[in-house]
Chains A and B, each alone.
Chain A
Amino acid sequence: MPHGMDHVLSDLRVLDFTRALAGPSCTRMMAEMGADVIKVESAPNGDMVRGISIYQNGRSLYLIQQNLGKKSLCVNIRDPRAMEILKELIAQMDVVVENFKPGVIAQMGLGYEDLKKIKPDIILCSISALGQKGPLSSKPGYDYIAQAYSGVTSMIGDPDTTPYIPGVGMGDVSTGVHAALAVVSALRYRDRTGEGQHLDIGLLDVYYHYHEVNVHQYSGSNGKINPVRAGRHLGYVCPAGVFRTKDGSVVIMAFMQHWKDLCAAMDKPELIEHERYSNDTLRLENRDEVVKIIEDWLLETFPDTESAVAQMEKFGVPVAPVLSVAETVAHPHLRARGTVRTIKDPLAGEFDIPGMPLRFSRFPEDLPLQAPTLGQHNEEIVTSYLKRSPEELQKLREAGVLVEKNS
């Protein structure tokens, strides 16, 4: 029986009904940690992301990035023979992951209660935008919808105008990681007690959980503090935020004990104990002035961002250039750590994707994973997991129950 590769989760078996981004991030994280993941794709087209983003040789890079290391089983879910195959597979699994709209998996006859009948200690992880329960759970959900309901969108931009959304799928990807944590925790519990369970992970909850101060400040001040977006700078220490340079911008975090370092870097020691700037409270009160002093200094002194960063680093000021995505891909630190990595797809060839964000000393190398073509593992799964004969396999292919496509 083919198992996942040697890593922290090798021997773990996952049946993966996920599509798009949040769900596939969850199962891909598990595959990157060695789990054996079978991705069930609905015939004839499979995961809808096989049809989006950039293509190389007819292959979606989006699909590749989030489906490394999975086996593809492409079946016609509306055919009872396919259902039979899926149920037989579930009996061999530790975990089932899905991110349909709440209720859909139960309508398919694969709700948690149905799964338990097939495998009493199964762990079912359901991922959704707004959760399995609650008045909004039936609504169609996307990343930014959950972000808007969480109050996070309201914290990005200038207070007097429309907020911005980050052009990064952080809600989806991070929710996948949260779900993986819930699964691994539930597995530990299962191993000790023999009990499985149903996990409910929503983007809304994940986004909301990011509020490190906003919720308790509003509540703890009885509404006196009303958190709203406030531009490019933090609301509770100063200076801390985004500053303009001649050719770009930098993030400077020179609050508390770092203020004196910034004053030294600016060669303005008189500002350290200045009556308007000597502590964070005063600097917050005079924030526009503080920002102007720093930005004027940056614009007058430095030909570019890089020289400004180098000067501040000399004085121990926490600082970073605001890198474009293109700059991150070539950055020596990100390359050295594998924060960005180059992968080679058998069809699409070489390209860059973000690295696996967890690093294990026992397994310093990434596993050599590939994203499957549609139905690539139909034969392997049906013959080696389910012990069907090559003739039976062929019949299922001919009947359109199993579908394969080289893309």
Chain B
Amino acid sequence: MVTQGSQHVLSGLRVLDFTRALAGPTCSRMLAEMGADVIKVESAPKGDLSRNASVFRNERSLFYVQHNRGKKSLCVNLRDPRGMALVTELIQHVDVVVENFKPGVMANMGLSYALLKELKPDIILCSISALGQTGPLAHKPGYDYIAQAYAGVTSMIGEEDDAPYIPLVGMGDVSTGVHGALAVLAALRHRDKTGRGQHLDVALLDVYHHYHEVNVHTPRATEGAIKPTRVGRHMTYACPAGVFRGNGGHLVIMAVFHHWPDLCKAMERPELTDDSRYSTDQARLKRRDEVVSLIEDWLQTFPDVSSAVSHLEKFSVPVAPVLSVAETLDHPHLRQRGTVRTINDPIHGDLDVPGFPLKFSEFPEELPLHAPTLGQHNEEVLTSYLGRSVEEVEQLREAGVLVEENR
């Protein structure tokens, strides 16, 4: 009788979702996009704080829509014992619980991993946080950029002699949600083979730090001779590689290693290929300013970025225009792949959001998912999961234990 998720790789998987804001909701939304049945528990009366964030249309937050598609909303008063009783009962029906409260809050609510295990011995609890469930910083309030700063990633963006920049993209939160989903799936495989659940601790700090592909291993290995720091717009271990000024915009050019001769050909400067001042990445790194200005001067001979890109592509130089967000929306490649997609929200109407980043050959079409209105699935969840009667649901509504609102 229970409603299942749509047909996709994770159909049949049941998730109880206590997450709010961005990192947690991304985790459970990834699971929903792969067909899991996700019940989002929203605290009455207002629900997820992101219902009040970003841009609105018809009083509907587009932020909420983007990050909560495919979930069922159960809006319940968690301070009412009858509300907690419903949640406790639901835990016995699910495979996975996901939460991103500040560490310790779940336990204060009476939903620690130990207690969840009593309700469902093989439960998998995934806890997502900024700085982790353990360690001296764990209790601090955390946001994406706080974790990014502690991870040493912020220190790698900008000019060495000035304050660093932050990317205006929620990459820590979104990516940590994806990491959380991977941990859940891996733990499920283990549960299916052994019957054992577990508690997962996934944090933005760890995810950001894990991105350092060379920075962490270099300082100690060189006994401090290399101190990784931000150095502007170009890579430090190969050259030319970075952001270059074109006419009316910018390009990323990666003409490193075996691509240098291609760039020399494209610039009609074949003599530079074997010129000992430029013939290797090491030599070019020593003269980086010279190499950059050589390339940027040449780029000025093109009327615009797109003609420079086409010319470089003809010579197989790895190159890309630095697209603005607006330009990405109607780029044919991004549209064709579904890197960007248009979704239709029942309240808001059509809007563009980033596409689902995993592509499965067995399921070439995305699921037709919607973000729920507040408490939209109260009745469905209570009647079909918990076997309550419509009358009982009505009583709980009247008592304010369940809340519904069309936004």
Stretch at the interface among B84-92, B271-279, B322-330: B322-330
B327 and chain A: residue at smallest CB distance: A151
Contact (Cβ within 8 A) B206 A355: yes
Pairs A–B under 8 Å by Cβ, sample size 22: A56-B221, A62-B217, A134-B332, A144-B235, A144-B320, A150-B323, A151-B327, A156-B165, A162-B244, A184-B189, A199-B359, A205-B355, A208-B340, A215-B325, A215-B328, A235-B168, A318-B142, A320-B145, A324-B229, A340-B209, A355-B206, A358-B200
A contact face: mostly helix, strand, loop, or mixed: mixed
Contact for B149 among A61, A197, A321, CB less than 8 A:
A321
Task: Compute how far the CA of A131 lies from the CA of B332 in the bound complex, rounded to whole angstroms.
Answer: 13
Q: Does chain A have a CB within 8 A of B298?
A: no
Which residues in B have their C-beta under 8 angstroms from that of A357? 179, 202-203, 206-207, 209-210
- Interchain residue pairs A-B with the least CB separation, the first 9: A212-B170, A169-B213, A219-B352, A167-B156, A148-B320, A320-B149, A328-B152, A200-B359, A198-B361
Contact (Cβ within 8 A) A241 B55: no
Which residues in B have their C-beta under 8 angstroms from that of A165? 157, 233-235, 242-243, 252
Q: Does chain A have a CB within 8 A of B399?
A: no
Number of chain B residues close to chain A: CB under 8 A: 152
A331 and chain B: residue at smallest CB distance: B150
Contact flags B185-222 to A (C-beta < 8 A → 1, else 0): 11111101100101111110111111111111111111
Q: Does chain B have a CB within 8 A of A368?
A: no
Contact for A149 among B12, B145, B146, B334, CB less than 8 A:
B334
Task: Compute how far the CA of A163 lies from the CA of B320 in the bound complex, rounded to whole angstroms.
Answer: 14
Best-buried of A214, A253, A326, A353 by chain B (most CB within 10 Å): A326
Which residues in B have their C-beta under 8 angstroms from that of A54? 214, 217-218, 221-222, 226
A336-B135, A352-B220 as given contacts; A155 in contact with B325, CB under 8 Å? yes
Which residues in B have their C-beta under 8 angstroms from that of A216? 54-55, 62-63, 65-66, 351-353
Contact (Cβ within 8 A) B152 A324: yes
A212-B63, A232-B163 as given contacts; A191 in contact with B183, CB under 8 Å? no
Best-buried of A167, A219, A230, A320 by chain B (most CB within 10 Å): A167
Q: Does chain A have a CB within 8 A of B390?
A: no
Q: Does chain A have a CB within 8 A of B231?
A: yes
Contact (Cβ within 8 A) B318 A139: yes
Which residues in A have their C-beta under 8 angstroms from that of B360? 182, 185-186, 197, 199
Contact for B339 among A192, A199, A205, A249, CB less than 8 A:
A205
Which residues in B have their C-beta under 8 angstroms from that of A223? 326
Q: Does chain A have a CB within 8 A of B250?
A: yes
* Tier of interface size on chain A: 35 or more
Task: Compute how far the CA of A229 lies from the CA of B158 in the bound complex, rounded to whole angstroms.
Answer: 13
Contact (Cβ within 8 A) A217 B62: yes
Q: Does chain A have a CB within 8 A of B346?
A: no
Which residues in A have their C-beta under 8 angstroms from that of B62? 216-217, 220
Contact (Cβ within 8 A) B232 A173: no
A212-B63, A355-B206 as given contacts; A148 in contact with B155, CB under 8 Å? no
Contact (Cβ within 8 A) B354 A209: yes
A216-B62, A216-B63 as given contacts; A360 in contact with B198, CB under 8 Å? yes
Contact (Cβ within 8 A) B245 A162: yes
Q: Does chain B have a CB within 8 A of A386?
A: no
A54-B217, A212-B169, A251-B154 as given contacts; A169 in contact with B211, CB under 8 Å? yes
A211-B170, A329-B219 as given contacts; A151 in contact with B183, CB under 8 Å? no
Which residues in A have their C-beta under 8 angstroms from that of B329? 215, 218-219
Q: Does chain B have a CB within 8 A of A228?
A: yes
Smallest distance from the beta carbon of B87 to chain A beta carbons, Å?
A: 22
A186-B9, A212-B174 as given contacts; A166 in contact with B168, CB under 8 Å? no
Q: Does chain B have a CB within 8 A of A75?
A: no
Which residues in B have their C-beta under 8 angstroms from that of A162? 233, 243-245, 250
Q: Which of A155-211 contact B (CB under 8 A)?
A: 155-158, 162-170, 172-174, 177-178, 180-182, 184-189, 191-192, 195, 197-202, 204-211
Best-buried of B63, B328, B329, B342 by chain A (most CB within 10 Å): B328
Contact flags A299-342 to B (C-beta < 8 A → 1, else 0): 00000000000000100101111111111110111101101100
